[in-house]
Amino acid sequence: MIYNTLTLNGKITANGVDGQSRSFLGEIFSGGGGSGGSVYIIAQKLAGSGSILSNGGNAAGGGGGAGGGRIAVYYKASTLTGAVEAKGGIGYQKGEDGTIVFQPISLDTPVTTFNLLEKSSTANVSQETLTTQKLNLSNVQITGDLTGTVDFSRLDLTAVTSGPFSGKGFIEAEFQTTLEGASYGGNLQGVVYPDSQGDKLYLKGSISGLLISGTCEGALSESTPGSGTFDKFEAAWKLNRLNTDSISAALALGGTISSQSSYSFTSQIYLYQGDFEGNAYGSYTGPLSAILTHLRLTSDNEYTGKGFSIISYNTAFEQGKGYSHNQLDAGAILEFQGLFENPLSGKLSAFLDENKSPKILSGTIERLDLGLTPAPDLKIDTWAPSRLSSGQTFDYIIELRNDGLKAAENVKLIDKLPFAVSFHDSTAGADYSEDAHQVVFQIPELSAKAIVYKRVAGAVLWGIPINSTFGNIVYIPKDEETPPPLDPTAGIDYEVAGDTQESALVKIKTSNQAEEVETIMSINVRESAEPVQPSFDVVETPLAVTTDFSLGSFSPTVVEGEWDAQNNARQITERAVDTAQRIIATTREGAEIIRSIREERDFLTWLYDNGYIDRTNYENYSQQKTIGYHGLRYFLPRIIDRLISNNLSRLGQRLRRLFRINESQRQIRQGIIRTIDGMKFYSDKELEAVIRASITEVLRRGGKPAETIERAWEIFLEERRLTFNSQISSSLAGHDPNELLVSPEGNVKPGDKLSYTINYENEGEGNAYGVYITDRLLANLDDATLVVNNGGKYDPATRAITWFIGELPSKQKGSVTFSVNVNSYAQDKSEVINFAAVYFPSVPEITRTNGTVNIVSLVIDTVAPVTEILPSPLPNPAGWNSADVTINLTAADNEDGTGVKEIHYALTGVTFEERTVSGASASITIPSEGTTTLNCYAVDNAGNTESPKSFTVKIDKTPPIISAQSAPQANASGWNNSDVIVSFTAEDSLSGVVSVNEPVNVTQEGAGQHIGGQAIDAAGNSASAYVVVNLDKTPPQVNITANPNLLWPPNHKTADVTIGGEAKDSLSGILLSTFKVDDEYKTIEPPISDFNTIVKLEAWRDGNDKDGRYYNVSVTTKDKAGNTASNVTTVICPHDRGKK
């Protein structure tokens, strides 16, 4: 491999040696010549006058001449004038001339060579734990283009079990294979890494031997899901050389793995990431850049110097990935043995010279398809945001590429949209079918190695549950002819009505030209000692149901019967798949089932396309001429089998609530009952036998060899993988962690500047090593105007921008930005599509961001759109609302305009929000109290901007504050004893008080009088307040007595006197009574606490006191309102007995 000019003025020879005559026992023996060898040269340029020779050796004596060798020389330019020979040797019989390929580099060149120079790099070391497993691989079966056997004498798997590369590692194996009777020995070396679910180990590597070469892609998986034991081996070998012959052969291997021994150890790990740029020559000639992430063991152990590499690369037209096993030799040369995936698919052999600075990565990529008839090789990819919200509008990006060596003509590309997404629009020229809910693109021609991008814009339906998943299916039908439709003429709408523990209820409305019928279908699975028998019964009265139904499946088998029964069966079974899809679409596992269902639905068409059934049978089976079990038996039972049996373990306990199973899952398939109008129809006990017998019969009738359904299905999937892709999104609250944003959105003009932001995040639990981002500029972007920020670098040869993020801790996020102009020559209505890829080499995972789409518009539109503002509810006459207000904005462009692109609105005041909403409508809910001003305007796709409009929303949900006061205020006992005036005061901080009650004069006596009033604010909120008035204006009644009231004889002794009497009040009640003894002589004043108190009074009077000594005993009583009354009684000690 010469990366510049090979100047040859001498000779490059691989001539065979001449034969020699030998003497033995006096007899002379002739000697034949040796065959010419092989010369293989790839050079940028050839110059000089030298020669390249691979001639056969001449014979000696009567021997035969040897055959010429093989010369293969590929170049971009040549001025070489010397001879290029591979002649046969001279002898008794002349040897045959060899083969010479001397031609410019082209697509037919068997290899691509590359020489890349390191531009930047990082390296570090860490101490990690690893585990090595010594495995046995037995019972290996080989199928495919060649027949034979293979035995593995060694199979070692070494994986890192700590740090960012935990779970990843490398595999080494030695094997001996016999293919078509010839034996070959070789090595298998590659990379292993787990899938995202952790139940499979992927294997990607190479096959190398003296006489055998190729690639290996496969997986180690669990035969028992969830066991954690990877005991199942499946791999695809693609061979490009056997002996010295170039071939293109594909083999499928399958076997059983068992563990011989395993051990764990620690080792120092060398981690390296380098950025390389350079050129490639050969079957692909052009710029090539690569990012190499490499790990190897450096401690002294069994695997010192060994490791693996994850590679991403860019060509002039596409990105790709590579995987390699590595080994460092004593001279610090790192050897690579692995594979490259498309677009440069092939076996990778390379070397990294670590002695040089900067390092040089050079190697070859050997083609795997050499010798095959040039043909198109179509591949599809589709993607969208991984997380969406109800109502969100987004784009599915579809990539269609031709990896083959021949142009593809009249390609039909079909995008079957998920039920949860409504169609919005698509790339110009596509046709949307509402009935099929699919978009069809027609591509007249797609050149070899060409790529086209299409888009389909959709909107997530409102009401889709959070965490729902839905898949977008894109495929290329095999036949240009459109087969007859599978859907019946009658429409059927399904509604899940609920479920019980043993059944699911589905409401089915069947409508045709004659009538409309609504029935309830009950789908039951019951526990029984007998085989489980699912039933599908029509019931007139729905069973008692609950509302938590979320999962379920159909299990009808349609059988022969009366025409009405068949017709009903057809209408039900034709749409059973779509119904099951809707029911189970709320789970991630459901998305996988949906993909299986869609493959099953295409199976019928595939059988017809590939000649397994003829046109007549196809029409009979797919239309209503043959109804029921016979018409649909070859694909409906398999749907039943998948939905119920294969996926029960996947959905686990969530389905067991509906399907209650005692024993094995296979019991579900042993008996299926179909009940129509009270008549039961049974399939055979072992449904699987019925399926096999039926499909075998179908295959025979189509003129093809009788094959089991399993083999037909395998062939179908093998072919479908080449032209089938799906993308799964989820409806989830939250952001898409790795996303691309563009500003402005919508329509743009040639020369407009686009600003892009790429957000990234490590959602994993551990640190991610060597994270980097790439963004390839497609044709409608002018890289002469490119401005890259955040330390990114741009390679104009591959039009790729790269940002090296490095180690990214768990849950850490960030963003990078760049701007670039739309090309000045961009055509009207063409699309400016862009997307980025976030690489996590330690996973290893490439996460494509969503794609952004701008439409180039050259339409002259000078009229701005008009926005209508519709609040709900409307404000009251005072301009106020007392509840949340929703404002609906609807914009319309002029009739000949470019259409509304977006609505801008801003909320100021108590609510602050500023948003741009794509499309012609927006809905805004304002919950906050106070005054919020909405300013909005619409922009059409020509950039015309409406004059801003404003609308003020005033919300007051809070009632006014009202208080009631009484004057005079009540005393401490809560009573008044004079007329009371109750007045009301109110205030409202938002809309203000518009009315409040006048004062009330309370004159009527009474207790517990509620005197209230009401205040109303401008928003209509009201509040009331009251005071309780207790009014008692009447004094209490009181009398008092003394017993005795005459004290005699006046002997200076004290006498007991009982003070009696009573106080009462009929309204407020007596608060207290106060007593007082007024002694005329001012010497005695005994205390009295209450009536019936005994006091001691002195029975004595002054002899000179002619009228005697008086004791006046008084009482003053107060009621609770403060009214008082008094009374008095007298006790006398007279002057003499006769005077009182």
DSSP string, 853-919: EEEE------PPPEEEEEEESPP-TTS-BSS-EEEEEEEE--TTS--EEEEEEEEEESS-EEEEEES
Query: Collapsing DSSP states into helix, strand and coil, what is residue 579?
Result: helix
Give the pLDDT confidence score for residue 622 in this predicted structure. 47
Q: For position 1115, what pLDDT does the model report?
A: 96
Chain segment 527-541, per-residue pLDDT in tens: 323 332 333 333 333
**Range scoring the smallest mean pLDDT among 701-715, 894-908, 949-963, 1002-1016:** 701-715
- What is each CA distance from 558 to 293, 643, 675, 1001, 1074, in whole angstroms? 56, 17, 10, 87, 105
The pTM score is 0.57
DSSP state of 548: -
pLDDT of residue 97: 84
Q: What is the pLDDT of residues 150-198, one digit of tens each?
A: 999 999 999 999 999 999 999 999 999 999 999 999 999 999 999 877 7
Region 896-900: mean pLDDT is 83
Residue 608 has a pLDDT of 56
Question: What does the alpha-carbon distance between residue 887 and residue 871 come to, in Å, rounded to a whole number?
Answer: 4
Cross-strand pairs, 152 = 175
pLDDT category, 558, cuts 50, 70, 90? very low
Q: Is residue 654's pLDDT more than 50?
A: no
Q: What share of the chain is helix, strand, coil (3-state, %, to 5)?
A: 10, 50, 40
Q: Is 211 left (phi over 0), alpha (psi -120 to 50) or beta?
A: alpha
What digits encode the pLDDT tens for the residues 989-1044? Answer: 999 999 999 999 999 999 999 999 999 999 999 999 999 999 999 999 999 999 99
**pLDDT at residue 480 is higher than 60:** no
CB 619 within 8 A of CB 613: no
pLDDT for 193 equals 93
Per-residue pLDDT, averaged over 688-702, amounts to 33
Which pLDDT belongs to residue 1138? 67
Average pLDDT estimate for 646-650: 29
For residue 686, pLDDT over 70 is answered with no
Q: Does position 497 have pLDDT exceeding 80, yes or no? A: no
**Poorest-confidence range of 149-153, 284-288, 549-553?**
549-553
Flag whether pLDDT at 733 surpasses 70.
no
What pLDDT was estimated at residue 137?
A: 92
User: pLDDT tens, 33-58?
Assistant: 777 877 778 777 889 999 999 888 88
Predicted confidence band at 21 (pLDDT cuts at 50, 70, 90)? low
User: For residue range 322-369, what is the model confidence (pLDDT) as tens digits?
Assistant: 999 999 998 889 999 999 998 899 999 999 999 999 999 999 999 988
> What is the per-residue pLDDT for 838?
92
Locate the DSSP E strands across 354-500: 360-366, 378-383, 387-388, 393-402, 408-416, 421-426, 431-433, 438-446, 451-460, 468-475, 491-499
Report the C-alpha gap between 838 and 841 in whole angstroms.
10
**Residue 328 and residue 338: Cα distance in Å, rounded?**
15
Is pLDDT at 548 greater than 90 in this prediction?
no
More confidently predicted of 120 and 469: 120
pLDDT of 65 above 70:
yes
Q: For the residues 801-819, what does the mean pLDDT come to?
A: 93
**Do 812 and 734 contact (CB within 8 A), yes or no?**
no
Say which residue, 547 or 1114, is predicted with more confidence.
1114
Can you give the length of the chain in residues? 1140
pLDDT band for position 31 (50/70/90)?
low
What's the one-letter identity of residue 980? V
- The pLDDT, as a whole number, for residue 613 is 53
Distance CA 664, CA 670 (A): 11
Rounded to whole angstroms, the Cα distance separating 366 from 247 reads 12
Residue 291 has pLDDT above 60, yes or no: yes
* Mean pLDDT, the chain, integer: 77
Q: Side-chain half-sphere of 656: how many Cα atoms within 13 Å?
A: 9
The structure tokens 């005036």 sit at 981
Give the 3-state secondary structure of 214-266: EEEEEEEECCCCCCCCCCEEEEEEEEEEECCEEEEEEEEEEEEEEEEEEEEEE
CA atoms of 1018 and 677, how far apart (whole Å):
65
| Token pair of 150 as six digits | 């293979």
Of 111-115, 420-424, 556-560, 603-607, least confident by mean pLDDT is 556-560
Q: What is the pLDDT of residue 735?
A: 57
Please, are residues 1127 and 1036 in contact by the beta-carbon 8 Å criterion?
no
> What's the DSSP call for residue 641?
I
pLDDT at res. 582: 39
Which tokens hold the place of 230?
Answer: 């990877």
Q: Are 921 and 892 in contact (CB under 8 A)?
A: no
pLDDT score, position 526: 31
Distance, in Å, from the CA atom of 843 to the CA atom of 164, rounded to the nearest integer, reads 8
CB 388 within 8 A of CB 732: yes
pLDDT score of 753? 95
- Does residue 873 have a cis peptide bond before it, meaning omega lies within 30 degrees of 0? yes
Pick from 220-229, 743-752, 1035-1044: least confident: 220-229
| Dihedral sign from CA coordinates of 155, 161, 166, 167 | positive
Mean pLDDT check: name the lowest of 436-445, 623-632, 964-973.
623-632
- How many angstroms separate the Cα of 1055 from the Cα of each of 95, 445, 656, 1043, 1088? 170, 138, 101, 11, 15
pLDDT in tens, 760-785: 998 888 888 889 999 999 989 999 99
**pLDDT computed for residue 592 by the predictor:** 36
Q: For a pLDDT cut of 90, what percent of the chain falls above it? A: 47
Segment 868-883 mean pLDDT: 94
Model confidence at 285: pLDDT above 60? yes
Position 326 scores a pLDDT of: 96
CA 625 to each of CA 568, 574, 609, 890: distance values in angstroms, whole numbers, following the listed order: 14, 14, 20, 50
Mean pLDDT to the nearest integer, 396-402: 92
CA quadruple 415, 417, 423, 427: dihedral, nearest 10 = -20
**670 vs 195, residue with greater confidence:** 195
What is the structure's pLDDT at 567? 33
CA distance 884 to 927: 5
Q: Going along 555-639, which residue ranges are E strands?
A: none
Q: How confident is the model at residue 754, as a pLDDT?
A: 96
Check residues 348 and 919 and name the one with the higher pLDDT. 348
- Of 1084 and 512, the one with more pLDDT: 1084
CA–CA distance, 305 with 333 (Å, rounded to integer)? 10
